Chain A
Amino acid sequence: MAGTAVPRPRTRRRGLDAERAEEYRGWLRQMILIRRFEEKAGEAYSLGKIGGFCHLYIGQEAVAVGSLAALRADDYITCSYREHGHALARGLSPRAVMAELFGKAAGTSGGKGGSMHLFDASLGFLGGHGIVAGHIPLATGMAFAIKYRNTDQVAVCYFGEAAVNNGAFHEALNMAALWKLPVVYVCENNRYGMGTALERASAIYDISERACSYDMANEVVDGQDVLVMHAAMERAVERARADKHPTLLEVRTYRFMGHSMSDPIHGHYRTREEVEDQRKRDPIAVWSQRLIEEGIMDQAGVKALDKEIVDEVEDAYRFADEAPEPAMEELYSDVYKES
């Protein structure tokens, strides 16, 4: 099984819709932005400008970009601690996200959250969360609030495949199905929970089957193809918004980097060959190739876009580097809300 994480796309390949060219280019832009941002974050980490844990999203960009593109501005999003990419795809500014990684006052959480705790309540981006599976009930609660208020918002929860063995996952999915809550659970199956392969941790291989226990809609999605990801997410979001039914999406993807910055790219738990093999389906290459083939972009256009993004990321880095530290009074602020 090893090395075969990415299934053949289920959707039959069709031509791209020329009228959506701008949207397609936007996806590529976001994916490259995440890639360049994460590369820069890795560099900053290695220079000691970012501390603590730092989990990079390189390799999984199509998942956040394709799925978040299917959401509305008033939907709620929660993520695990590997959430830089989701934050950027949701529209948090690279400057604010980089500043948060640097622990600066201009960061998304004023430097008090860090890499694992990015928030922007104004965008419905309700956190990166550091306890595996601990945030799955939170998204379920947000969906409960949507139902309580009888609006047509959707709550979305991102987590890794290792979270599905945790009780919080099952407790949350049971209630979501029982109460018919408008929530989409996006399981990013990158095949490894830290260094433990899926098949060494889970009694069943297809995570989507877990949904069957709760009579919940589910789908296996090719997470390396942004178009496929987007289409699957559109179906799930529609099911939540219109039919008030939750969905579990098992998105097959791959992390090209180590679990965190202190983990080697392959280490003892996967082979160099496997990583190199997976890199052949780099989601950015897959999508830019597609856009070129379909005449929506050309090579020069992709290169120019990349250059523009590199400059944007450099600007974010400079901004974060030069931004002031939080004031020392902030140590004691926001522990409680004073009534």
Chain B
Amino acid sequence: MPTLTYRDALNHALREEMARDPDVFLMGEEVGVYQGAYKVSRGLLDEFGPMRVVDTPITELGFAGVGIGAAMVGLRPVIEFMTWNFALLAIDQLVNNAAKMRYMSNGQVGVPAVFRGPGGAALQLAAQHSQAFESFYAHVPGLKVVMPATPADAKGLLKSAIRDDNPVVFIEGEMLYNLKGEVPEGEHVVPLGKADVKRAGRDVTIVCHSKTVAVALKAADELADDGVEAEVLDLRTIRPLDTEAVLASVARTHRCVVAEEGWPFAGVGAQVVDTIQREAFDELDAPVLRVTGADVPMPYNKQLEKAAKVDPAKVIAAVHSVLYRD
């Protein structure tokens, strides 16, 4: 199995899907001539031409709406946002148009579109460029929210997202683009709505997604040295949430920590905790704890930024707490 970066895994998914289905096209800022702000679309303009790899003006609302309009009449656009920070300019299009068209039209008009780009913090990009917005979109019925953590999942989930008949918010990780991993060639499709046990363990479940998967795996390694077997459950899809997998894992371990990059208030973890306390109450030996980004705009200073982010030490501390190991 070849080893690819996360970036190239996405590139392969796009290339394969565009080759498979002539209705699939890519649109966004710098996706063509520039080869992609993060080089995800490298080579696609040459291969598919300017009608299918469309450079847009810096006009997020506008091209998101263009993509939705094209999807309403049957095309399958992949709309790239240079980052999800900029996509806030387009959130009206996603929430009021993409998410609601099928319902408002009683099933007559769907929006089979993918909106993708990197989310979350990178390094020292400061407050306006370091934000995790998955809970914003996951709040909205009608949208699906997908967040791959590994190169293999990046490819398999993007192929599923493009083939899905619903609008899919596909949030990548800027810090993940260089992550390497084995990726199956050709038809590798990961279904939406299915979480994945990235590491099995019997003492505690660490629920995570996107960048926090790597953080959780590192924490699990250190905990193993200490005799604690942590199970790392990667949600992969935020909406629809794989509650079955979460509950099954908690039923095995009886303790749970939820790690996410975003802010704590009304975050994805809050939804996971709600599900657990409601449906696995009698399985719990301790309250479920959350590890989140600090409840502040992201600071620029390197030390402050580090303090604001989720890291393995914070996850380990939470695991100790739910194991009553103080």
Contacts and interface: CB of A to CB of B under 8 A. Distances in A.
Question: Do these two chains really belong together in a complex?
Answer: yes
Interface of A: 76, 78, 108-110, 112-113, 117, 119-121, 126-127, 129-131, 134-145, 147-148, 155, 167-168, 171-172, 174-175, 178, 333-337, 339
A100 to B, nearest CB: 9
Interface string B59-88: 101111111111111110000000000000
Contacts of B312: none
A138 B103 contact: no
A111 to B, nearest CB: 8
A127 B109 contact: yes
Nearest to B100: A117
B165 A337 contact: yes
B102 A113 contact: no
A167 B166 CA distance: 26
A9 B225 CA distance: 86
B28 to A, nearest CB: 13
B303 interface: no
Contacts, number: 138
B101 interface: yes
A108 B104 CA distance: 10
Contacts of A339: 163-165
Contact of B66 (A120, A127, A137): A137
Contacts of B205: none
Chain A facing B: main interface SS: mixed
Given A113-B106, A137-B66, A171-B61, A142 B96 contact: no
Contact of B105 (A119, A137, A140, A333): A119
A112 B104 contact: yes
Nearest to B107: A334
A35 to B, nearest CB: 26
Interface string B287-299: 0000000000000
A168 B89 CA distance: 10
A192 to B, nearest CB: 23
Contacts of B66: 137-138, 140-141, 144, 172, 175
Given A113-B104, A137-B64, A140-B69, 20 more contacts: A109-B105, A110-B107, A112-B106, A119-B104, A120-B108, A126-B73, A134-B65, A137-B62, A138-B69, A140-B62, A142-B72, A145-B73, A148-B51, A148-B75, A155-B69, A175-B56, A175-B62, A334-B102, A335-B142, A336-B166
B93 interface: yes
A148 B62 CA distance: 17
Nearest to A143: B69
A142 B63 contact: no
A135 B97 CA distance: 8
B92 A131 contact: yes
A126 B142 CA distance: 18
Interface in B143-202: 144, 163-166
Which of A143, A148, A336 has the most chain B CB atoms closer than 10 A to its own CB? Answer: A336
